[in-house]
């Protein structure tokens, strides 16, 4: 653990304290999806973690109404368990207002548990947009947790283009590669093939470098919690059990499209 903390601090990762009650007030719901492109706002039950997206809906108190919401939430109450959820979302935002929301929220209340939430979002916006206010967050919270490590990572890339109704080819390729990568990553964690330390290292050696290759303004928010209780944290119920595991989509779609969404062929490798 000491080596992991030292490594993360060297990368500029300084955990920040956020009260769980405040964090939960910003979550707008939960829908099951893991490593998939968001396509609608229909909520379905989730397992250990959950994600939600709502297309083009203005939230109360949210500054700019343009864009979708990508919220990835993981709640871990299982002793000795390592739980992870992740999603990659691509948005086309052609209007003057650009306000997509990307948030990773990880919560632990258990013994010797590890929790990881990863929210990845690419927003293709109009270069002429006048009101650009994207929101990106990564929040980790522990509550009465013994030997817990809780990590939340939010990666958001906002890319101005001349025609936001079209997804640039490099964005399309990266999104599909990350979609496949998140699925494989989650499966490997579930099978016990990753330690927590190795999983974090994978994020920074495989996933984030792919986003750094894209144009636009890249914003990375991360939060690592190791204290037994994050100051201000409160209890949180487990996410409802999912009747079946999420499956890959044969033809992933893109959020916020004013025209028919493209149907790219899924990529098997980054």
Tell me the per-residue pLDDT of 85-118, one tens digit each, with 9 for 90 and over: 999 999 999 989 999 999 999 999 999 999 999 9
Residues 6+ apart with CB under 8 A from 25: none
How would DSSP label each residue in 73-93? EEEE--TT-EEEEEEEEEEEE
Name the H helices within the chain.
2-10, 20-25, 169-190, 196-202, 208-212
The model's pLDDT over 195-207, given as tens digits with 9 standing for 90+, comes to: 999 999 999 999 9
Which of 92-96, 174-178, 228-232, 238-242 is the least confident region? 238-242
Instruction: Give me 256's structure tokens.
Output: 């916020």
How would DSSP label each residue in 96-119? SEE--EEEEEEEE-SBS-EEEEEE
């Amino acid at each position: 653990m000491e080596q992991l903390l030292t490594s993360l601090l060297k990368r500029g990762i300084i955990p920040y304290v956020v009260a769980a009650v405040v964090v939960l007030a910003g979550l707008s719901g939960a829908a099951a999806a893991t490593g998939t492109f968001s396509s609608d706002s229909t909520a379905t039950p989730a397992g250990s973690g959950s994600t939600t997206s709502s297309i083009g809906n203005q939230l109360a108190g949210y500054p700019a109404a343009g864009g979708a919401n990508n919220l990835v939430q993981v709640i871990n109450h299982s002793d000795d368990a390592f739980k992870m959820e992740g999603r990659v979302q691509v948005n086309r935002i052609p209007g003057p207002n650009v306000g997509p929301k990307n948030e990773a929220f990880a919560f632990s209340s258990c013994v010797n548990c590890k929790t990881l939430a990863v929210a990845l979002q690419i927003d293709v916006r109009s270069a002429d947009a006048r009101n650009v206010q994207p929101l990106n967050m990564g929040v980790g919270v522990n509550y009465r947790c013994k030997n817990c490590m809780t990590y939340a990572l939010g990666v958001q890339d906002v890319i101005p283009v001349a025609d936001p109704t079209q997804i640039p080819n490099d964005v399309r390729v990266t999104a599909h590669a990350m979609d496949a990568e998140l699925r494989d990553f989650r499966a490997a964690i579930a099978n016990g093939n990753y330690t927590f330390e190795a999983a974090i290292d994978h994020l920074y050696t495989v996933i984030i470098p792919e986003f750094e290759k894209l144009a636009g303004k890249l914003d990375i928010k991360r939060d690592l919690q190791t204290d037994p209780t994050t100051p201000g944290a409160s209890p949180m119920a487990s996410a409802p059990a999912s009747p079946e595991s999420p499956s890959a989509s044969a033809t992933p779609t893109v959020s916020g499209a004013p025209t028919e969404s493209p149907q790219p062929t899924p990529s098997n490798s980054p």
